[in-house]
Structure 1
Amino acid sequence: MRLVQITDCHLFADPDAESRKGFPLRQLQSVLERARALRPDVVLVTGDISQDETPASYRHAFDAFSGFDCPWFWFPGNHDRPQLMSELREIHDEVDLDRWRLLVLDTQVPGQVHGELGQTQLQELAWRLEEDDRPTLLAMHHPPVDVGSAWMDAIGLADRDALWQTLAAYGQVKGILFGHIHQAFAARHASSFGEIAVYGCPSTSDQFLGGSPDFAIDEASRPGLRVVDIDGESLATWVERVDL
């Protein structure tokens, strides 16, 4: 089972619009070309599809992702308008990965840059984990750990401690995929059952400079994607980047 993660496209209604250091739609198309060559079984888009929150920007994304031969799924980030997304394609909260499952968590706080799950969603997560003990991946937009950049850590998942407290009772959660940080990231978080892997992903648009205390663009880096291969009980993952 191969899953490809795409994130933070930041598209505009104008297909030729520029971002700070590039052209978001062209860069997305280049990343998707590489993704198709990897022959994924599932494609997951982890938020911030749009920059200007227009219907046309989501139409560009929908048309681009519809070029895959496999199922693809998306969910909103802090920049997105879920209603506009849903009008084009349903937002799922779970993806069946055969022997595994992937649970999607909504971290969007309307009108805010940071993320939050809230007590109700955390309780629902516990119920969902109670009902199925298959190995599980979680996916969300905001990072549930510090990533080493003060400005980004301030706008990550606000109730991350409550998430980790919830997960402490469930050993089947093997990893968490997230977007928002526009850079590759990998860490492990200690839990009652060992460690849970935590992975960030490069953006298809601008890349952020890792380790910077203030906002900064990484001009030396390139757009990319994350590949997740699942084989039995094991998981392997890596980042691939594209030349522009």
Structure 2
Amino acid sequence: MSRLVQISDCHLHADPDARARAGFPLRQLEAVVEAVNRERPDMVLVTGDISNDETAGSYQLAVATLGRLAAPWFWLAGNHDDPALMAESRELLDELDLDAWRILMLDTRVSGQPHGALGPEGLASLAERLEEDDRPTLLVMHHPPLSVGSAWIDALGLEDREAFWQTLAAFGQVRAILCGHVHQAFASHQRLEAGEVAVYACPSTTDQFLPGAETFAIDEASRPGYRVIDLRDDDLETWVERVDL
């Protein structure tokens, strides 16, 4: 068995004392990192929106804080991020291996837009990569590829989701998808001819969004958190943990 941890949506500023709507992003990320280390993961995935102000300083702060993780960690860009600045601080990889599992990191960012898309080239690349290897596969992306039940978030999800699922329909090895962007615990699935694909999101390390809200709303009663994913030979078990501040 291998253990993954997903953390997401840190929304750091270059100013380490900057406030979010309901707390202090850096302090909350530090608390999450400390809690994650107690899980003893084999790998940590950070699923986008690392920065809130798209500054080099925010990424330097992220690297210094995430560098306290006791496991290898990898990140991808969200709609609030600047991938070029991220890459100056730490490399962005598009594929990882964890024992019997293959992990594909997908870039869903659309420059200057809050919604996401893979686009024709990204979808074609995904199909080629899945054609190459039939090991159990985990897809990791920022934007959710299906409805999460909040109208305002669903309008900002993966814009070409139908084409995305059509692409996956030809392949049976994708077991699950991890996404960020929704700032809440979320679990659902998509049924395809080749099998069922689970879709999971996790709490933000900073502000939490109110589930089921029609318009933007903060869940002030909820806490930061992360998702634990235990990978076995051909399946997985996953749950969310919250962090006391």
Q: TM-score with structure 2 length normalisation?
A: 0.99
Matches of 1:204 and 1:33, distance apart in 2: 12
Matches of 1:153 and 1:135, distance apart in 2: 28
- 1:139-178 aligned at under 5 Å gives the runs 139-178=140-179
Matches of 1:210 and 1:161, distance apart in 2: 23
Runs of at least 5 residues in structure 2 that lack an aligned partner in the other structure: none
Does residue 180 (structure 1) correspond to residue 190 (structure 2)? The answer is no
Q: Is the 8 A contact 2:230 2:238 kept in 1?
A: yes
Identity %: 65
Residue 194 (structure 1) shift: 2.0
1:10 paired residue number: 11
Residue 232 (structure 1) shift: 1.2
- 1:45-194 aligned at under 5 Å gives the runs 45-194=46-195
Structure 1 segments, 4+ long, off by >2 Å, are none
Q: Is the 8 A contact 2:175 2:235 kept in 1?
A: no
Residue 67 (structure 1) shift: 1.3
Residue correspondences, number: 244
Runs of at least 5 residues in structure 1 that lack an aligned partner in the other structure: none
* Equivalent AA in structure 1 for residue 170 of structure 2: A
**1:81-126 superposed Cα distances (whole Å, 9 cap, x missing partner):** 0111101111000110110111011000010000010011111111
Give the secondary-structure state (helix, strand or coil) at the position aligned to 2:166.
helix
Q: State the superposition RMSD in angstroms.
A: 0.6
Matches of 2:103 and 2:10, distance apart in 1: 21
Matches of 2:69 and 2:138, distance apart in 1: 22
Matches of 2:156 and 2:139, distance apart in 1: 19
* Equivalent AA in structure 1 for residue 152 of structure 2: W
- 1:199-210 aligned at under 5 Å gives the runs 199-210=200-211
Q: TM-score with structure 1 length normalisation?
A: 0.99
Matches of 2:102 and 2:70, distance apart in 1: 20
